[in-house]
Amino acid sequence: MTNRNFDEWLSRFRPSISSYDYYIDFEKVVRNVDEIKVELNILNSLISSKNIEEAFEYIKAQPDVTLINTTEDYKVYQISKTEPSDFYYFDEAKEKDAEGKQKAADILGNTKYFYFIDKYGLQWEFEQGHTDIGD
């Protein structure tokens, strides 16, 4: 993974008449955060989960959550074994890197996932198996 320098990135911004307040109503965020504090903490704790099956059972048991598929058959799914020939990089250097493509194929083939909808109607995807495919 490429390390990025936040200060360098931020220094490239041009002056503007818009502040962050133009994009975000921070007063409203502060007023409303208490309503969703528990849900945010639950989701935050799941981010570091190493066992997606346990996370699935936990989410499934929450009263205000709906799994994307409500049948008893719905479960954690795993992406099928993936071969480097199953996908194409538009970046020519990455496409020619056989070792890198094999690594990406291995990561994809080991990824598990499930979907759920929170009480606000937002759909979430929970994945386990990679930290960053963008390397």
Using a pLDDT cut of 90, give the percent of the chain over it.
32
**Residue 59, Cβ neighbours under 10 Å: how many?**
20
Whether residue 98 has pLDDT greater than 90: yes
The values of phi and psi at residue 114, to 5°, are -155, 165
Cβ-based burial of 89 (10 A; exposed 0-12, middle 13-18, buried ≥19): middle
**pLDDT tens, residue by residue, 30-49:** 888 887 777 777 777 677 67
Query: Is a pLDDT exceeding 60 seen at residue 74?
Result: yes
**Percent of the chain's residues with pLDDT above 70:** 90
Domain ranges of the chain: 19-128
Average pLDDT, the chain: 84
Look at residue 94 in the predicted model and tell me its pLDDT.
94
- Please give the Cα distance from 122 to 65 (Å, whole number): 10
